[in-house]
Homo-oligomer: A and B are copies of this chain.
Amino acid sequence: MKPLLKQIQHTPLLWMLIFVPVVLVAEAVVPHSHTLLFALSVLAIVPLAALLSHATEAVAAKTGDTVGGLLNATLGNLTELVIAITALRVGQYMLVKASIAGAIVTNALFMLGACLLLGGLRYHVQEYNRAGARLYSGLLLMATVALLAPSAVAHLDLMQGEAVMRKLSVGLAILLIIAYALGLLFSLKTHKELFASAEHGEGEERWPIGLAVGTLLVVTVLVALVSEIFVESVQKAAETFGMSPAFVGFIIVSLVALGSASQIALFVAPALVLLSYVVGPSPMSLQFWPGAVTMVMIATVTASFITSSGRSAWFVGALLIFIYAVFALTLYVVPPAGQGTG
């Protein structure tokens, strides 16, 4: 336990773990204070997500390159996945889809923008490795195109649509998971040198494997418990604040549960479609509302274009964050119609 406690001590973000017992107690004491429970559950998920990500890396570091990479690639979006499964079980499909689309947009605009802005405040003009950036942004572009193609292409009338879209979604989910498996082969085996990062923090104390696996399991259970409270309270709390489920999923879920955009597109989204047949009240399709399709496409094309230029300055980052703010404002003021359909 010592390395874990030391980690918590040195990371102010993890001090927010105090909200985990607080929200669990609050749920027992005041189960109808939805706004309070919503706020507390968001505050509790943030440090849990950070700890989960750290535990995953600790396990991966002990298991060698290939298995470790596989673990990272599968558990890297665990928080997002657990929240989405909880929402799936109670049929909150709009929240699920909004969190999928939002995760991609938040990565491509907000995270990239923040990196370029902060980097730009330190360096006058940043030059970065174009070869890697271009290949990576090409993969992200293609992953989102594959995910969104049916929503963009199939203009359905509402009656006919349901059954057809369901059939299409299952076929697409299987294709996406095959592409994901090929992508793992590509990034962990045949071309792993392109994805190598220099982030092996040598100074950090290594966790023993038992502690790492234990933390991983315990934190996953805690995320599941808190997600339950989050999903229960979100609908009513959102009404209080005038937020739609689409806004909550798109902005809030994706900000508390940051992951990798292409993993979301190729693995989390299709996994949720297939899981919906097991855990959901009815099957979920991959049909996104038109505004989501437009936002994800704009975000990915813009990010690809900016990344591929290989040069950046602070204003580029500021404009990316700014486009994100425009999307958030639009989604807040004009929630998509027909929420909650499969």
Residues of A within 8 A of B (CB): 124-125, 131, 134-135, 138-139, 141-143, 145-146, 149-150, 152-157, 164-165, 167-168, 171-172, 175, 178-179, 182-183, 186, 190-191, 194, 290-291, 294-295, 298, 301-302, 304-306, 308-309, 311, 313-316, 318-320, 322-323, 325-327, 329-331, 333-334, 336-337
Separation in Å of the A117 CB from the closest CB of chain B? 11
Give chain B nearest CB distance to A58 CB in angstroms.
Answer: 29
B172 touches A131 (CB 8 A): no
Given known pairs A153-B327, A168-B333, the reply for A141 and B302 (CB within 8 Å) is yes
Nearest opposing residue in chain B for A156, CB measure = B334
Interfacial chain B residues near A308, Cβ < 8 Å: 305, 308-309
Instruction: Tell me, in angstroms, the Cα distance from A157 to B152 when the chains sit together.
Output: 20
Cα–Cα, bound, A157→B338 (Å) = 12
Query: Which B residues lie within 8 Å of A124 (CB)?
Result: 190-191
Assuming A131-B311, A153-B291, A326-B172, is B316 touching A138 (CB within 8 A)?
yes
Q: Find chain B residues with CB under 8 A from A326 CB.
A: 146, 149-150, 172, 175
Dominant SS among interface residues on chain A: helix
Are B135 and A323 closer than 8 Å at their CB atoms?
A: no
Copies of this chain in the oligomer:
3
Q: Out of B172, B190, B304, B330, which one reaches A305, CB within 8 Å?
A: B304
Q: Is the CB of B154 within 8 A of A334?
A: yes
Among B125, B171, B329, contact of A333 (Cβ-Cβ < 8 Å): B171
Q: Which of A139, A142, A152 has its CB near the most chain B CB atoms (within 10 A)? A: A142
Note all chain B residues with C-beta closer than 8 A to A330. Answer: 149-150, 153-154, 168, 172
Cβ-closest chain B residue relative to A130 = B309
A141 contacts across to B, CB distance below 8 A: 302, 305
| From B156, B291, B319, contact of A155 by CB (8 A) | B291
Q: A325, B142: Cβ atoms under 8 Å?
A: no
24 contacts between A and B (CB under 8 A): A124-B191, A125-B194, A134-B311, A135-B311, A138-B306, A142-B306, A142-B320, A142-B323, A146-B322, A149-B295, A149-B326, A149-B330, A150-B329, A153-B295, A154-B291, A154-B330, A155-B291, A165-B334, A168-B330, A168-B333, A171-B333, A175-B329, A179-B318, A308-B308
